[in-house]
């Protein structure tokens, strides 16, 4: 009876050890699978964030170019008007101003010039 008891006991130990290893392997596989899914989700999140960041940067650069072009145009207009205004206070500036007015007013309008 003792021999069969020890044989049974060894058999149960081997069975429990193999069952424990199988259970442990299943748990490791499950944890590895969960970690793989988490890595895939983070990778997709990073790719999506980079795409959104790239699009936002493109929109921002386009707006900045538009603002820069508008600023350049307004600066050019300011320089032209500023030089014309400065010309009014130079010698014979009044006469040049009157000549400019002649070009602006159409020919068939009566002009009155006060002196």
- Structural domain includes residue 54: yes
Please report whether residue 108 resides in a domain. no
Question: What's the DSSP call for residue 115?
Answer: -
* Domains: count for the chain: 1
Asked if residue 95 is part of any domain, the answer here is no
Residue whose tokens read 């009876």 = 1
The verdict on pTM exceeding 0.75 is no
95 is written with which tokens?
């006469």
Question: 94: Cβ–Cβ under 8 A, 6 or more apart, which residues?
Answer: 88
Question: What is the distance between the alpha carbons of residues 23 and 30, in angstroms, rounded to a whole number?
Answer: 11
Residue 38 structural domain: 2-78
Specify if 89 maps to a domain. Answer: no
Distance in Å from the first CA to the final CA of the chain: 141
Residue 94 forms part of a structural domain:
no
pLDDT at position 112 is 66
Q: Is residue 41 situated within a structural domain?
A: yes
pLDDT digits (tens, 9 = 90+) for 22-54: 889 999 999 999 999 999 999 999 999 999 999
Is 90 part of any domain? no
């Amino acid at each position: 009876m003792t021999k069969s008891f020890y044989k049974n006991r060894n058999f149960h130990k081997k069975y429990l050890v193999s069952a424990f290893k199988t259970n442990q392997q299943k748990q490791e596989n499950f944890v590895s699978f969960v970690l793989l899914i988490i890595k895939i989700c983070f990778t997709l999140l990073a790719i999506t964030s980079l795409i959104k960041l790239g699009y936002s940067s493109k929109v921002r650069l386009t707006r900045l170019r538009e603002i820069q072009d508008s600023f350049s145009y307004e600066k050019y207009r300011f320089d032209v008007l500023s030089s014309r205004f400065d010309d009014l206070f130079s010698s014979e500036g009044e006469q040049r101003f009157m000549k400019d007015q002649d070009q602006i007013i159409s020919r068939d309008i009566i002009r009155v010039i006060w002196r």
